Amino acid sequence: MKGTIAKAGGWLGPLIRGLSLRLSLKMLTIALALLLLVVPLPAGLVERFYSNGIYPFIQSSLTTATNRAPFAIIDLLLIALGAGLPIWWGVRLVRAGRGLRARASGRLLFHTLVMAAGLFLVFELLWGFNYMRKPLASKLEYDEERLTADGLKRLARATVAELNKESAIVHPGGWPADYEWRERLYESFEAAVKEIGNRRGIAPATPKHSMLNSYLAAAGIEGFINPFGHEVILDRELLEFEQPFTLAHEWAHLAGFADESEASFVGLIACLRSDMAAVRYSGWIALYGHLPHRAIDMKSEMNQEDGAVEALRLAPEVVSDLRAIGERASRNIDESVSRVQARVYDRFLKANRVQAGIGSYGLLVRLVVGTRFDPAWVPVRRN
């Protein structure tokens, strides 16, 4: 009997130690995830060693790989998760048998929590740490004192004037092919991100469409990135003149600008600095949509004061394009879906320390007005 017990102890010991190690690793995974949720990493370290350190290599590797797939990798991941999780639960509960399913459910809940914590850690490593990098305003010559009514008027005036100028070039000649404007956008985008402070550019993601497109349209989402595959997904309903700015915005996310207003700022600068009128037009018409109504209403007052009514009236072609954007949105957006999506994304952003939540989208104008620029829309960096 003693010999039997000794033999059992001989093989049970490593098994128990193995189980303890696996349990410890699972608990450590949950603890690390909770720690990252509560305690942010120092912004300076994130900026130096992640956003301008290992992250560009992660991005270029993943995007280069996912560009080769003719479909959206995010669709495959969602199908695997959506089908795999219920099947896993179902099989485990059936195998547990009667009387043991309550215990099996508890274990499944624990392992699901471990899996969620693991996915969160992978998300942080692949892209999410960018939420903790230094704010863009701290790296540029940005001054809150420039945020005045006069500054907003000047931006409104410039936006209308540039829209009319670019429209006169774009509309008579027709819209360029996708590959043409994407190449030109990429050139100006690379220059913009490096001048803003990134040490490296990006591997450009070829925009794809998703099986979620109906949901995107209903929720009013024009595009997003897949942080696990570093691919760009765009709403297939986007109008041709909306696409360059939207793609530049998503590329900015791939460049490590996680904050929505910062991504819009980088995307806007990339568009405005392009040598192609169509790309510049896309940037200006996007900026016009971000201007507060009171800034747009000021144009009539400004025109009367300056005696330049005709110069600041939107061209009919621009008005038609703005109307088309509004019609696209009203045709596709489901208000209930949009509200739920906005609420969920607002909580996600705040959980990732974007205090403005979805309000960060509206901070684009503040960045544009408050930042000092050199000629040709080159933002001035702090010394």
Q: What is the pLDDT of residues 144-154, one digit of tens each?
A: 899 888 888 89
Task: Please report whether residue 150 resides in a domain.
Answer: yes
Residues in the chain: 383
Separation in Å, CA 307 to CA 37, 293, 299, 323: 55, 22, 11, 27
Task: Please report whether residue 153 resides in a domain.
Answer: yes
Q: Check the CA dihedral 368-370-373-379 and report its sign.
A: negative
Write down the pTM of the prediction: 0.86
Structural domains counted in the chain: 1
Residue pLDDT, tens place only, 63-78: 999 999 999 999 999 9
Residue 8 has pLDDT above 80, yes or no: no
Task: Please report whether residue 275 resides in a domain.
Answer: yes
Task: Please report whether residue 186 resides in a domain.
Answer: yes
Residue pLDDT, tens place only, 335-368: 655 454 445 445 544 554 445 433 444 689 999 9
Which candidate, 218, 229, 258, 196, places its Cα nearest to that of 71?
A: 229
Which segments of the chain does DSSP mark as H helices, in order? 2-38, 43-45, 55-66, 73-96, 101-126, 149-173, 178-196, 213-219, 243-254, 260-272, 277-290, 293-306, 316-332, 335-351, 364-370
8 Å CB contact between 157 and 307: no
Task: Please report whether residue 193 resides in a domain.
Answer: yes
Task: Please report whether residue 350 resides in a domain.
Answer: yes
User: What's residue 309's pLDDT?
Assistant: 40
Task: Please report whether residue 10 resides in a domain.
Answer: no
| Domain containing residue 142 | 136-379
Which candidate, 239, 55, 211, places its Cα nearest to that of 133?
A: 55
| 261, two tokens | 């207003």
Task: Please report whether residue 39 resides in a domain.
Answer: no
